[in-house]
Amino acid sequence: MALLITDECINCDVCEPACPNDAISMGADFYRIDPHRCTECVGHFDEPQCVTLCPVECIPFDPAWRESREQLQAKYERLQEQKRAA
């Protein structure tokens, strides 16, 4: 699964720099997570850094993006390959 940021976000700016996949960016009103880039920090950390750091606990799993650990690992590897190629 990818994660998502709810409208309870207070725009504290903690999550964006903590994301190792650059999946978090400012949306129209609050931060958003690109599900195509979110690996829940698989490949980088044991747990999602945005969830760990969020002071208002507004980052649940996105039920629209169900992915297994293996799929998240494959996404991580694909993103790393793209980064090396750039």
DSSP string, 74-85: HHHHHHHHHHHH
pLDDT digits (tens, 9 = 90+) for 2-20: 899 999 999 999 999 999 9
Calpha distance 43→62 (Å, rounded): 19
Contact 74, 85 (CB under 8 A): no
Q: Has domain 15-85 been given CATH number 3.30.70.20? A: yes
CA 68 to chain centre: 15
19-54 residue pLDDT tens: 999 999 999 999 999 999 999 999 999 999 999 999
Separation between Cα atoms, residue 35 and residue 21, nearest integer Å: 11
Separation between Cα atoms, residue 21 and residue 49, nearest integer Å: 11
Domain boundaries, the chain: 15-85
Give this prediction's pTM: 0.92
Taking the C-alpha atoms of residue 14 and residue 10, their distance in angstroms, rounded to an integer, is 10
As given in the structure block, the two tokens for residue 1 are 């699964």
